[in-house]
Structure formats: C-alpha cells, structure tokens
Amino acid sequence: MLSVRSRKYINLTKWFAQFLVKTCHNDDGLPFTCGAGECCGNACKAKGGLCCTNTHGYKFPCGSGGSCCGNGCAGEGSKCCNEGREDAYPVAVGTACSDESVHCTNSHGQPFLCGKGSTCCGDLCAAPGDTCCQGVSHNFVCCAGNGCCGNSCLAPGSKCCDGNGLPYPVTMDTQCAGSGSVVCKNPQGNEFLCAANNTCCGGTCVAPGGVCCQNEQGNLFPCGKGSRCAANVCIAR
C-alpha cells in the first residue's frame, strides 16, 4: 500500500523575509526580489525613493530628493516643465521651459528659441537689458549699457565717429579720423578704414606717395614713398 504525502508549498515571501529580502510581484503576479529595496510596479526602488507612474500607467522608480515628471525623473535641483501634462519634462532650475521661451526666426527663416525675458536679434538672442544692433550686413548684440556704432559696440565713455559711411567707436578724448577717411576691404570682404589720402592695399593701407606691391604668393603689401616693388620686398629708388 502506497503512502501518500501531502506536498508542502513554500511561502516565498516569508522565506525571503527571514533574510531581510523584500519580495515583490509584477503585473503578471510573478514574484521577484528587491533585496533591501521596495516594490515599484515591475521594478525595485531604493528605500526613501519615489515610485512614479508614466503616461501609460506603468510605474517606474526615481531617486529621493527629486520628483516625478511625466515619463522621467526630475532630480534634486531640477524643475518639471508642463507638470501634470503628458508632455512634461525636467530641466535644471534656472532654465526656461519651452512655453516660457521666446520664439525667434533667423535670417534663413528657421525658428529657434531664446531664454525667458530675452529678445530676438537677427540670428542671435539678446539677454534682458542687452542692446540689439544692426551692422553693415548682420545683427549683433551689445551688453547692457552699451550703444551701437557701425559694426561695433559703443561702451559708456565712448563716442561714435563717422568714417565715410562706416561708423567706428573711439574714446571721448580721441579725435575722429575725419570725413577724409578711406573705406577699404580686406581679402575676406571685411571693411576697414585707412587715413585720409591713403589708398587700399589688400588688408593694409598705403600712405600718400607709396605703392601697393604683390609678392610671389599673390598677396598685396605696401611700400613707402620713394620705394618700388621687387618680388617680395621693397627697394628704395
């Protein structure tokens, strides 16, 4: 005659508890252990941590000291943009959320964002209090308290001189070059000024009576009054 023994099932929760190991159950009811941690849906979280729920209803762990933010965690020192909405996302404190940002369009018609309180300045952002200037062919930003002068910023205590259509800044005690200044362009296409009665020579100026020479590499260079060009040097007459 066979003796029948009743099978005893082990209670895993109690069995792991004696080793101070936490037993959890996932969405399918299957057990898994979390060591000294705590249960958080299908995952484990550290003691004192957060158990968050994403936009699909699934739980996920976040560390302590922060907060739940949509489908992510906002760590300590962060904030949650669009909190309570499906498109919530974390950013550092001090960073403007997208709905707080200023929407701008660059010179190519492409949109870009500037920070909260900023203003659009061509292809750039001007911080609160900054000055947006219009140069010869582009916009540029000067810091608060500065003005615009041609392609440059005019700092306090400076003045703007008129250089034949190309204004330039100098200190208040500096005499402007006068209306006789000559506007030249360097090989890169950038404008610069030469003194009255000078002539342009590549990226430099030629004084009255001088000549503009070209070296063997095709670069222009000036020679003074009474000199003549000779290959890569100036020769006195």
In a domain, 166, yes or no: yes
Query: Is residue 124 domain-shared with residue 162, that is, in the same domain?
Result: yes
How far is it, in rounded angstroms, from Cα 119 to Cα 175?
35
Query: Is residue 30 domain-shared with residue 59, that is, in the same domain?
Result: yes
How far is it, in rounded angstroms, from Cα 213 to Cα 221?
5
Confidence at residue 142, expressed as pLDDT on a 0 to 100 scale:
95
How far is it, in rounded angstroms, from Cα 155 to Cα 142?
9
Look over the chain and give the mean of its residue pLDDT values, rounded to a whole number: 84
Confidence at residue 18, expressed as pLDDT on a 0 to 100 scale:
60
- Domains: count for the chain: 3
143 lies in which domain range? 101-171
How far is it, in rounded angstroms, from Cα 72 to Cα 62?
8
In a domain, 177, yes or no: no
Which tens digit of pLDDT belongs to each residue from 3-47?
Answer: 444 445 555 556 555 655 788 889 898 988 888 888 999 999 988
Unique residue bearing structure tokens 């306090």: 156
Query: Is residue 80 domain-shared with residue 24, that is, in the same domain?
Result: yes
Query: Is residue 17 domain-shared with residue 85, that is, in the same domain?
Result: yes
pLDDT band at 69, cuts 50/70/90?
very high
Query: For residue 2, is pLDDT > 50?
Result: no
In a domain, 3, yes or no: no
Which one of 57, 73, 92 terminates a domain?
Answer: 92
In a domain, 2, yes or no: no
Contact call for residues 146 and 156 (beta carbons, < 8 A): yes
Residues of the chain above pLDDT 70, percent: 89
The whole-model pTM stands at: 0.41
Which tens digit of pLDDT belongs to each residue from 101-139?
Answer: 888 999 899 998 888 788 999 999 999 999 999 987 889
